[in-house]
Structure formats: structure tokens, C-alpha cells
Amino acid sequence: AELVLEISSACREQDIGASQINEAIQQLDQVTQQNANASEQISTTSELLARQAGELQGSIDYFRLKDEVPARQGVTAPVAQRSVAARPVTYMPAPKPKAKPKARMKPNSMADQKARLAGFALDLSQGGPDADDADFGSTVA
């Protein structure tokens, strides 16, 4: 009878140990799945960033001077001096439409949105091309 009790106790301990091992394996499986998901997200993000970097480089190349050496090669281009004095831009308020006196507008109402989109008018009659404009052009053929 004593031997049967010892065998029963040993079986119970083995069962508890097997349950603990099973739980640990399940936790490892969850961590592995989380790592796989994180790895996939990082991979997707890096591909997106690489594509955006290429697009940004293309945008920057548009504004590159013909004689300019790219900074990636370790050579910095001299800063061009403006030959013509910069003229200030005059901002004029946008013409206001004649309307009835407005009651207090609700935030994010249609009237509030239209009021925010009214903007302002620029007086572009004083500007014009200067000597530096010819230096800029598309390097992409």
C-alpha cells in the first residue's frame, strides 16, 4: 500500500511538471509569433522608408544645379550669392464677401470651415525672375 502511494505521488508530480512544461511551450510559441509579427512590421516599414527616401532624392535632384556635385560624394557645393536684392512680398488680405452679420459659429461647422479656407491674396506684381532662376532646372531628362 505504501508503494502504491509513492507511485501515485510520483505520477502527480510528473503530471504537474508536464503541465508546467506545456504552459512554458505555449508562452514561447506566443513570444515567437509576436517576434515574427514585429519582424514583418519592421521589414514593411524599412521598405516604405527606402521607397520614400528614393522619392525624396528624386525631388531633391530636381532642384540641384547643373554644376553641383552631390553631397553624398563628400564634396560640398559653394553657396551661391544672390546678385539681385530680394524684394519683399506684400501680403494683402483676401477680399471679404459681403455677408450678413454672423452669429457665433459652432466649431467645425460648415460656416466655420469656409471661414478658415478664405485665405489671403498675394501681390505678385513686384516680383519676377532673377539671375538665379536660370541655374535651377531638372537634372532628370
In a domain, residue 92? The reply is no
Residue span of the structural domain in which 45 resides: 1-65
Residue 65's pLDDT band (cuts 50, 70, 90): confident
pTM score: 0.38
In a domain, residue 60? The reply is yes
The number of folded domains in the chain is 1
8 A C-beta contact, residue 63 and residue 136? yes
In a domain, residue 83? The reply is no
For the record, the C-alpha cell of 9 comes out as 505521488
Q: Pick the range with the lowest mean pLDDT from 18-32, 66-80, 115-129.
A: 66-80
**Which pLDDT belongs to residue 50?**
95
In a domain, residue 86? The reply is no
In a domain, residue 71? The reply is no
In a domain, residue 27? The reply is yes
In a domain, residue 4? The reply is yes
